[in-house]
Structure 1
Amino acid sequence: MSIRVLIKEFPHRAIALTTSSHALVLRHTSTSTDQSANYNASTTSLGSNGVGAARCMVEFNTVEEVDLSDYRALNMVNAHGTLGLITVNGDIFLVVVNGASKVATVRLGETVQRIHSVGFYCLNSSSYDSLLNDEVNPYPTDTIDDEGFEMGFGRGKGEGPLEHPCLALKKLLSSGTFYYSSDFDLTRRLQERSSDAATVSIDSLDAGFLWNSYMIQPLVDFRSRLAPREKQALDASGILTSAIRGFALTITVPSSSSPIRTPRSGLPSSMTLISRLSCRRAGTRFNARGIDDDGNVANFVETETIFWAPTGVCFSYTQVRGSVPVFWEQATGLLPGQQKITITRSPEATQPAFDKHFENLELSYGAIHVVNLLSNEKPNEIELTNRYRYHIRNSPLNVGDEKNSREHELIRLTEYDFHAETRGPGGYEMASMISQWIRESADGFAYYLSEEVEEHAKSNGQDYVMRRPATILQQEGVFRTNCLDCLDRTNLVQTIISRMALEIFLGHKAVGASQDFWVRHSSMWADNGDALSRIYAGTGALKSSFTRHGKMSLAGALADARKSATRMYINNFADKGRQNTIDMLLGRLMGQVPVHLYDPINDYVMTELSRRAAEFTQTEVIHILVGTFNLNGKTNGLHEDLSPWLCPNVDPSQQCPEIVAVGFQEIVELSPQQIMSTDPARRQMWEQAVRNCLNENAAKHGKEDYVLLRGGQLVGASLSVFVRANSLKFIKNVEGSLKKTGMSGIAGNKGAVAIRMEYANTSICFVTAHLAAGFANYEERNRDYKTISHGLRFQRNRSIEDHDTVIWLGDFNYRIGLSNEKVQKLCHVVDLETLYENDQLNVQMVAGLTFPYYSEARITFLPTYKYDIGTDTYDTSEKARIPAWCDRVLRKGDNIRQINYDAAPLRFSDHRPVYATFQCLVSKVDEKKKDQLSEDLYHQRRAIVGDTRATGIMEDTDDEDLLGYDSIEPGLPPASSDRRKWWLDNGLPARSRAQPPSNDHFPNPKRPSNPFTPSPEPDWVEVKRMGSRAEPPPARGTARAHTVDFNGTSTPNSLSGSTTNLNQMKPNSMARKLIAPPFNLSNPSTTPIPNVDGAIDALKRTPSNTSTHSLPNYLPHRGPPTQQAHPPPPSNLAREISRKPAPPVPTKKPSLLGTAVSPSPASTPSPPSQRHREDLHVDARPQPPPPRRSMAPPKTERKPVAPASLIDTSEDKPPLPPRTGTGLSAASNGSAAGRGRSLMDEEPEDMESLRGWEVLRPVR
Structure 2
Amino acid sequence: MASLRIYTRNFPHRTIVLATSDYALLFKSESRSTRRRNGDTVPRCQVDLVPVSSIQFEDYQIHGKGFGTLGLIHLDEDVFVSVITGSSKAATVRPGESVFRIDKVEFFCLSHSRYEDRLYHEVDSSIPVEVTETEVDYDLRETPIDVPFLALKKLLSDGSFYYSLDFNLTDRLQDRSDKSATFDIESLDEDMLWNAHLINPLLIFRAYLAPAEKNHLDSSRMLTCVIRGFCGTLTIPSSVPIISRGHTRLPSSLTIISRQSSRRAGTRFNSRGIDDDGHVANFVETETVLWIAPHLTFSYVQLRGSVPIFWEQATGFIPGQQKIEITRPVEASQHAFHKHFKNLELKYGAIHVINLLSELRPGEVELSRRFRELIKGDRISQETALGALSDHSLLQLTEFDFHAETRGPTGYGASSQIKPEIFHSLQGFAYFQEEESDLGIPDQNQKLLGNTIILQQEGAFRTNCLDCLDRTNLVQTIISAMALDAFLHQQGSSIGDNLQLRHSTLWADNGDALSKIYAGTGALKSSFTRRGKMSIAGALADVRKTAARIYVNNFSDKARQQTIDILLGRLTGQIPVLLFDPVNDRVATELAQLSSNYSSTTSIQIWAGTFNLNGRHPGPNIDLRPWLLSGFNRHDDGPQIFAVGFQEIVTLSPQQIMSTDPTTRKVWEQNVQSCINSEASSRKLPKYVLLRSGQLVGAALMVFVRGDSLKYIKNVEGNVKKTGLSGMAGNKGGCAIRFDYSNTRICFVTAHLAAGFANYDERNKDYDTILRGLRFLKNRSIEDHDTIVWLGDFNYRIGLANQLVRESAIQGDYQKLYDNDQLNLQMLAGRAFHFYTEGPITFPPTYKYDIGSDHYDTSEKARIPAWCDRVLWKGSNLRQLHYSSANLRFSDHRPVWAIFTCMISVVDEKQKAHLQHTLYRKYRHSTRAVVASEPEKADANTGKLYHPGIFSRTQESAIGAAYDKWWLNHGKSARSQVIPPSNNHIWNIQRIPNPFSWDDNDWAQVSPSTEIENGALNPPLPPRMNLSGYQRHRSSYDSNREHIDATIEVPGKPYQDNPKSQKSSKTAFWMMDSNHKSPPLPASTTKTLAREESPGPYNPRPHDIADRSVTHTKHDILGEAINDRLTWEPLHPKQ
Shorter-chain-normalised TM-score: which range? 0.5 to 0.7
After TM superposition, list the pairs within 5 Å mapping 1:160-309 onto structure 2: 161-194=144-177, 197=180, 199-260=182-243, 265-309=248-292
Q: Does the 8 Å CA contact 2:248/2:294 hold for their aligned counterparts?
A: no
Structure 1 residues 597, 988: closer, same or farther in 2, change over 3 A?
farther
Q: Does the 8 Å CA contact 1:292/1:327 hold for their aligned counterparts?
A: yes
- In structure 2, the partner of 1:776 is none
- Once residues 366 and 959 of structure 1 are traced to their aligned partners in structure 2, the CA distance between those partners, rounded to angstroms, is 49
- In structure 2, the partner of 1:471 is 453
Question: Residues 891-927 of structure 1, C-alpha deviation per residue, up to 9 Å, x if partnerless?
Answer: xxxxxxxxxxxxxxxxxxxxxxxxxxxxxxxxxxxxx
- Once residues 79 and 551 of structure 1 are traced to their aligned partners in structure 2, the CA distance between those partners, rounded to angstroms, is 44
- In structure 2, the partner of 1:529 is 511
Question: What's the CA shift for 1:964?
Answer: 15
Q: Does the 8 Å CA contact 1:59/1:950 hold for their aligned counterparts?
A: no
- In structure 2, the partner of 1:29 is 30
Q: Confirm or deny that 1:488 pairs with 2:470.
A: yes
Question: What's the CA shift for 1:562?
Answer: 1.6
Q: Does the 8 Å CA contact 1:374/1:418 hold for their aligned counterparts?
A: yes
Question: What's the CA shift for 1:269?
Answer: 0.8
Structure 1 residues 340, 1168: closer, same or farther in 2, change over 3 A?
closer
After TM superposition, list the pairs within 5 Å mapping 1:132-151 onto structure 2: 133=120
- Once residues 388 and 1007 of structure 2 are traced to their aligned partners in structure 1, the CA distance between those partners, rounded to angstroms, is 104
* Aligned with 2:572 (options 581, 590, 594): 590
Question: Residues 606-641 of structure 1, C-alpha deviation per residue, up to 9 Å, x if partnerless?
Answer: xxxxxxxxxxxxxxxxxxxxxxxxxxxxxxxxxxxx
- In structure 2, the partner of 1:107 is 94
Q: 5+ residue gaps in structure 2?
A: 123-140, 587-924, 975-979, 986-1003, 1025-1049, 1071-1087, 1091-1100, 1110-1123, 1128-1135
Opposite residue 59 of structure 2, the aligned amino acid is D
Question: Residues 299-321 of structure 1, C-alpha deviation per residue, up to 9 Å, x if partnerless?
Answer: 11110000112232111111110
Structure 1 residues 126, 261: closer, same or farther in 2, change over 3 A?
farther
Structure 1 residues 314, 1156: closer, same or farther in 2, change over 3 A?
closer
Q: Does the 8 Å CA contact 2:35/2:957 hold for their aligned counterparts?
A: no
* Aligned with 1:57 (options 21, 27, 46): 46
Question: Residues 1083-1132 of structure 1, C-alpha deviation per residue, up to 9 Å, x if partnerless?
Answer: xxxxx997599xxxxxxxxxx9x999x999xxxxxxxxxxxxxxxxxxxx
Opposite residue 458 of structure 2, the aligned amino acid is E
Opposite residue 261 of structure 2, the aligned amino acid is S
- In structure 1, the partner of 2:900 is none
Structure 1 residues 328, 31: closer, same or farther in 2, change over 3 A?
closer
Question: What's the CA shift for 1:988?
Answer: 9.5
- Once residues 1111 and 20 of structure 1 are traced to their aligned partners in structure 2, the CA distance between those partners, rounded to angstroms, is 74
Question: What's the CA shift for 1:21?
Answer: 0.6
Opposite residue 439 of structure 2, the aligned amino acid is E
Q: Does the 8 Å CA contact 1:199/1:236 hold for their aligned counterparts?
A: no
Question: What's the CA shift for 1:89?
Answer: 1.7
SS in structure 1 opposite 2:55?
Answer: coil
- Once residues 1211 and 991 of structure 1 are traced to their aligned partners in structure 2, the CA distance between those partners, rounded to angstroms, is 38
- In structure 1, the partner of 2:58 is 69
- In structure 1, the partner of 2:422 is 438
SS in structure 1 opposite 2:375?
Answer: helix
- Once residues 950 and 329 of structure 1 are traced to their aligned partners in structure 2, the CA distance between those partners, rounded to angstroms, is 53
Question: What's the CA shift for 1:372?
Answer: 0.5
Question: Residues 770-814 of structure 1, C-alpha deviation per residue, up to 9 Å, x if partnerless?
Answer: xxxxxxxxxxxxxxxxxxxxxxxxxxxxxxxxxxxxxxxxxxxxx
Question: What's the CA shift for 1:327?
Answer: 1.1
- Once residues 1052 and 572 of structure 2 are traced to their aligned partners in structure 1, the CA distance between those partners, rounded to angstroms, is 63
- In structure 2, the partner of 1:120 is 107
* Aligned with 1:378 (options 350, 361, 370): 361
- In structure 2, the partner of 1:1215 is 1106
Question: Residues 748-775 of structure 1, C-alpha deviation per residue, up to 9 Å, x if partnerless?
Answer: xxxxxxxxxxxxxxxxxxxxxxxxxxxx
- Once residues 222 and 453 of structure 1 are traced to their aligned partners in structure 2, the CA distance between those partners, rounded to angstroms, is 39
- In structure 1, the partner of 2:399 is 415
Structure 1 residues 107, 262: closer, same or farther in 2, change over 3 A?
farther
- In structure 1, the partner of 2:843 is none
- In structure 1, the partner of 2:725 is none
Question: What's the CA shift for 1:600?
Answer: 6.9
SS in structure 2 opposite 1:390?
Answer: helix
Structure 1 residues 93, 1213: closer, same or farther in 2, change over 3 A?
closer
Question: Residues 414-458 of structure 1, C-alpha deviation per residue, up to 9 Å, x if partnerless?
Answer: 111111222223322221221211122212222222111222388
Question: What's the CA shift for 1:348?
Answer: 1.1
Opposite residue 44 of structure 2, the aligned amino acid is R
- Once residues 195 and 305 of structure 2 are traced to their aligned partners in structure 1, the CA distance between those partners, rounded to angstroms, is 21
Opposite residue 109 of structure 1, the aligned amino acid is G
Question: What's the CA shift for 1:347?
Answer: 1.2
Question: Residues 498-521 of structure 1, C-alpha deviation per residue, up to 9 Å, x if partnerless?
Answer: 111112222322222322111111
- Once residues 964 and 545 of structure 1 are traced to their aligned partners in structure 2, the CA distance between those partners, rounded to angstroms, is 58
* Paired-residue identity, %: 49
Q: Does the 8 Å CA contact 1:131/1:164 hold for their aligned counterparts?
A: no
- Once residues 59 and 310 of structure 2 are traced to their aligned partners in structure 1, the CA distance between those partners, rounded to angstroms, is 56
- In structure 2, the partner of 1:749 is none
SS in structure 2 opposite 1:64?
Answer: helix
- Once residues 473 and 67 of structure 1 are traced to their aligned partners in structure 2, the CA distance between those partners, rounded to angstroms, is 55
SS in structure 2 opposite 1:74?
Answer: strand
Q: Does the 8 Å CA contact 2:948/2:956 hold for their aligned counterparts?
A: no
Structure 1 residues 1142, 79: closer, same or farther in 2, change over 3 A?
same
Question: What's the CA shift for 1:941?
Answer: 4.1
Structure 1 residues 1150, 296: closer, same or farther in 2, change over 3 A?
same
Question: What's the CA shift for 1:398?
Answer: 4.0
Question: What's the CA shift for 1:400?
Answer: 3.1
SS in structure 1 opposite 2:198?
Answer: helix
- Once residues 956 and 1102 of structure 2 are traced to their aligned partners in structure 1, the CA distance between those partners, rounded to angstroms, is 53
Q: Does the 8 Å CA contact 2:314/2:324 hold for their aligned counterparts?
A: yes
Structure 1 residues 231, 1217: closer, same or farther in 2, change over 3 A?
same
- Once residues 90 and 1156 of structure 1 are traced to their aligned partners in structure 2, the CA distance between those partners, rounded to angstroms, is 46
Question: What's the CA shift for 1:589?
Answer: 2.4
- Once residues 1148 and 12 of structure 1 are traced to their aligned partners in structure 2, the CA distance between those partners, rounded to angstroms, is 53
- In structure 1, the partner of 2:12 is 11
- Once residues 375 and 1051 of structure 2 are traced to their aligned partners in structure 1, the CA distance between those partners, rounded to angstroms, is 90
Q: Confirm or deny that 1:92 pairs with 2:79.
A: yes
Q: Does the 8 Å CA contact 1:452/1:469 hold for their aligned counterparts?
A: yes
Question: What's the CA shift for 1:61?
Answer: 1.6
* Aligned with 1:508 (options 483, 490, 497): 490
- In structure 1, the partner of 2:550 is 568
- In structure 1, the partner of 2:752 is none
Q: Does the 8 Å CA contact 2:1007/2:1020 hold for their aligned counterparts?
A: no
Question: Residues 27-81 of structure 1, C-alpha deviation per residue, up to 9 Å, x if partnerless?
Answer: 12126868999xxxxxxxxxxxx97221121111211233433212024xx1111
- Once residues 970 and 393 of structure 2 are traced to their aligned partners in structure 1, the CA distance between those partners, rounded to angstroms, is 62
Question: What's the CA shift for 1:954?
Answer: 5.2
Q: Does the 8 Å CA contact 2:160/2:513 hold for their aligned counterparts?
A: yes
Structure 1 residues 262, 179: closer, same or farther in 2, change over 3 A?
farther
Greater mean deviation of Cα atoms: 125-134 or 532-541: 125-134
Structure 1 residues 963, 174: closer, same or farther in 2, change over 3 A?
closer
SS in structure 1 opposite 2:499?
Answer: helix
- In structure 2, the partner of 1:813 is none
Q: Does the 8 Å CA contact 1:191/1:474 hold for their aligned counterparts?
A: yes
Question: Residues 326-362 of structure 1, C-alpha deviation per residue, up to 9 Å, x if partnerless?
Answer: 1111111211111111111111111122122112212
Q: Does the 8 Å CA contact 2:272/2:313 hold for their aligned counterparts?
A: yes
The normalised TM-score by structure 2 is 0.53
After TM superposition, list the pairs within 5 Å mapping 1:623-642 onto structure 2: none
- Once residues 466 and 965 of structure 1 are traced to their aligned partners in structure 2, the CA distance between those partners, rounded to angstroms, is 56
Question: What's the CA shift for 1:602?
Answer: 12
- Once residues 22 and 959 of structure 2 are traced to their aligned partners in structure 1, the CA distance between those partners, rounded to angstroms, is 41
* Aligned with 1:942 (options 924, 935, 950): 935
Q: Does the 8 Å CA contact 1:114/1:177 hold for their aligned counterparts?
A: yes
- Once residues 1051 and 502 of structure 2 are traced to their aligned partners in structure 1, the CA distance between those partners, rounded to angstroms, is 100
Alignment RMSD, CA only?
5.4
Q: Does the 8 Å CA contact 1:26/1:950 hold for their aligned counterparts?
A: no
